[in-house]
Amino acid sequence: MIREIQDKIIALKKEKNICLVAHTYQASEILEVADIKGDSFVLSQKAQLAPESTVVLAGVRFMAEGVKLLSPDKKVILAHPDAGCPMAEQIAPERVRQYKKEHPDHPIVAYINTTAELKAVCDVCVTSSTAVKIVSRLPEKEMLFIPDCNLGDYVQRQLPDKKINLWLGGCHVHAGVTERDVINARKDHPGALLLVHPECVPEVVAHADFVGSTSAILEFAAQSDANEFIIGTEMSISEHLTYQFPDKHFHMLSKKLVCPNMKITSLMDVYRAIAGTGGEEIILSDELMRDARRPIDKMIELGQ
């Protein structure tokens, strides 16, 4: 059944000139037929270079918006219209505007995992893998970091000369992991390396052997000589690694590391979006496109 749907997807993509883009937290059966896979920002960068004029995205809304912002001439369809991200959507842009009024000298740094509306009121974006580099290159000493206080805290610890004001927000999936989970996992798997995403709380990050974005964790595990790992990010990453490297051992740091927003998209949703009977086209006004693109361009400029 899965194979049949996958074959239909492959044929339809070709027939309709569609590029299928999927975040690494998606199910394997979706990733197997995706043309582009990766972490949040990499998806939009790679989609920009794709020759197809239509992109179907299996992931969450802010990722589809990210693709649209970098590829304004492409038609971008979010495979499941209800696939949102509570972290990306948790701040009303008005509250950031208010902060700006009160602190006109503080740049607003936005994690790329935010809505286009929120990006539009910020000064520079960062990804989980570039945050330290980008913040270190900002001329200002003091700033506001939104929306993930855990990633913000991680950056602050790497850059003690900066003063990073944090917003009390974050990813409930990663932030749900506790130090107790680390102690238990270390006890169950002594000798395994602990790889965690910086969206985890500081008490968890402090125990890590490696801290990095989704792709950085995948890359680290692939290249490491070690053969046993505890994975502190969404469950699918442990599954993909187990599948890719059958001789290595991967354990989930906690069973709580499952993102329901990422899991809402099924292979059938992807099929319907490609067939034109499902999904939702991402439409952003010209003004929003212009304003939300600005902090992304700033990130690209500072990252060079």
List residues near ligand 13P by CB under 6 A.
39-40, 113, 127-128, 171, 199, 213-214
Nearest to 13 by CA among 38, 28, 32: 32
Query: Tokens 């900066």 belong to which residue?
Result: 162
Closest to ligand SF4 by CB, 106 or 197: 197
- 208, 195 Cβ separation under 8 angstroms: yes
| Residue range at the interface with ligand SF4 (CB under 6 A); choices 69-77, 82-90, 154-162, 279-287 | 82-90
* Amino acid code (one letter) for 91: I
State which of residues 234, 237, 265, 271 lies at the interface with ligand SF4 (CB under 6 A). Answer: 234
- Regarding 262 and contact with ligand SF4 (CB under 6 A), the answer is yes
* Window contacting ligand SF4 (CB under 6 A); options: 10-18, 85-93, 131-139, 243-251: 85-93
Taking CA atoms, 28 is separated from 31, 190, 242, 246, in Å, by 5, 29, 12, 15
Of ligand SF4, ligand 13P, none, which one sits near residue 273, judging by CB under 5 to 8 A according to partner kind? none
The site partner of 86 among ligand SF4, ligand 13P, none (C-beta below 5 to 8 Å per kind) is ligand SF4
- Residues 265-284, one symbol each (x = binds ligand SF4 by CB under 6 A, - = not), give --------------------
| 87 within 8 A of 170, measured Cβ to Cβ | yes
Radius of gyration of the chain (CA): 19
Distance between CA 267 and CA 30 in Å, rounded? 6
Q: Which stretch binds ligand SF4 (CB under 6 A): 83-91, 178-186, 216-224, 284-292?
A: 83-91
For ligand 13P, give the closer residue by CB, 99 or 229.
229
DSSP code at position 122:
-
Using rule CB under 6 A, residue 292 touches ligand SF4: no
DSSP state of 176: T
Residue among 22 and 106 whose Cβ is closer to ligand 13P: 22
- The SS3 call for residue 198 is coil
* Paired strand residues for 110: 125, 146
Q: Sheet of 228-232: strands edge to edge?
A: 210-211, 193-196, 228-232, 249-252
Q: Which is nearer to ligand SF4, 117 or 234 (CB)?
A: 234
Q: Which of residues 96-155 bind ligand SF4 (CB under 6 A)?
A: 113
Q: How far is the CB of 172 from ligand SF4 (least distance, A)?
A: 6
Cα maximum dimension of the chain: 57
Cβ atoms of residues 132 and 155 within 8 Å: yes
User: Rule CB under 6 A: is residue 195 a binding residue for ligand SF4?
Assistant: no
Footprint of ligand SF4 (CB under 6 A): 60, 85-87, 113, 171, 173, 234, 259, 261-262
